[in-house]
């Protein structure tokens, strides 16, 4: 069983852009990684990349909307030497790109299931398992604090993620557990490509299309650096915070 300088942290959504970059950044800081994603091949690829760089990671494929999958990941991480000290909830989906009257109700429910229920389950199981203290980071979005046309499911879900973070943070005031959010602006990952593809295909010309790609995109590594900070002792007095990582691009 590997012993790390930092202890063990879970990263969900670790098969994709921000989660995978976060895994790489945390490995460099000496964290022992427990990585999960519903995409097993992607997860295996991330593990291979980490191994090539000399870092070890345990991978447990799972669907974060399924309580038993979340519980299994947490049990594995909590069983590592030093216990579970970090949890990064990065799994997420964009949903559809359509105005509210056209937005498919099933899609709306699916987005809330992954982004909100998934984050809730990670908190429900992950927070009590940080018995020795720890830092939980939820990946919200600048869509946690602003509206965005044609993205009802995503924006509603990310507002809810911030509400969950603030609630759980209050429940842990005065304890050794902290709960914070990182709110990335548009970041160069498969998700932003999917959103732009959907926008190009589905919004009729002349409609109000708020393209995600405007100002320079963040790199996943830039977002990951802020997650590293939130998991480090340097952020020890942050609880319930939401750190925007957008280079100022979504201020207006």
Ligand X SMILES: NC(=O)c1ccc[n+]([C@@H]2O[C@H](COP(=O)([O-])OP(=O)(O)OC[C@H]3O[C@@H](n4cnc5c(N)ncnc54)[C@H](O)[C@@H]3O)[C@@H](O)[C@H]2O)c1
**Enclosing H/E stretch for 111:** helix 105-112
- 38 in contact with ligand X (CB under 6 A): yes
- Report the residue from 118, 126, 134, 153 that binds ligand X according to the rule CB under 6 A: 118
The answer to whether residue 154 is catalytic is: yes
Of 164-203, binders to ligand X (CB under 6 A) are 184, 186-187, 189-192
Contacting residue, 7, 8, 9, 17, with ligand X by CB under 6 A: 17
CA 143 to chain centre: 13
Q: Are 97 and 107 in contact (CB under 8 A)?
A: no
Only segment of 32-40, 121-129, 196-204, 236-244 that touches ligand X (CB under 6 A): 32-40
Residue ranges of E strands in the chain: 8-12, 32-36, 57-59, 84-89, 134-139, 177-184, 242-245
Q: Which of 133, 191, 126 is nearest to 165 (CA)?
A: 126
Selected binder of ligand X within 7, 15, 126, 134 (CB under 6 A) = 15
- State the nearest-atom distance from the C-beta of 80 to ligand X, in Å: 20
Q: How far is the CB of 239 from ligand X (least distance, A)?
A: 21
- Considering the rule CB under 6 A, would residue 244 count as an interface residue with ligand X? no
CA distance 99 to 146: 16
Least separation in angstroms between residue 236's CB and ligand X is 24
Neighbours of 248 (CB within 10 A): 10
Contact between 92 and ligand X per CB under 6 A: yes
Residues designated catalytic: 154
């Amino acid at each position: 069983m590997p012993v790390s300088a930092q202890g063990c942290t879970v990263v969900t959504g670790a098969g994709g852009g921000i989660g995978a970059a976060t895994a790489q950044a945390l490995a460099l800081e000496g964290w022992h990684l427990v990585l999960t994603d519903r995409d097993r091949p992607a997860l295996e690829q991330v593990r291979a990349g980490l191994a090539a760089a000399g870092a070890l990671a345990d991978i447990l494929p799972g669907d974060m909307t399924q309580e038993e999958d979340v519980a299994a990941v947490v049990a594995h991480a909590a069983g590592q030497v030093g216990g579970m000290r970090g949890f990064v909830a990065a799994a997420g989906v964009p949903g559809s790109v359509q105005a509210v009257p056209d937005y498919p109700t099933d899609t709306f429910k699916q987005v809330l299931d992954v982004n909100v229920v998934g984050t809730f389950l990670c908190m429900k199981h992950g927070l009590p398992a940080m018995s020795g203290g720890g830092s939980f980071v939820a990946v919200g979005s600048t869509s946690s604090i602003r509206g965005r046309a044609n993205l009802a499911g995503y924006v509603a879900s990310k507002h809810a993620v911030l509400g969950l973070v603030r609630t759980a943070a209050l429940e842990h005031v005065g304890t050794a557990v902290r709960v914070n959010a990182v709110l990335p602006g548009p970041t160069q990952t498969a998700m932003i490509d999917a959103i732009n593809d959907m926008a190009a295909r589905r919004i009729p010309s002349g409609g109000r299309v708020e393209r995600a790609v405007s100002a320079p995109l963040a790199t996943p590594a830039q977002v990951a650096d802020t997650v590293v900070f939130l998991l480090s002792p340097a952020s020890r007095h942050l609880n319930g915070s939401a750190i925007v990582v957008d280079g100022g691009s979504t201020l207006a």
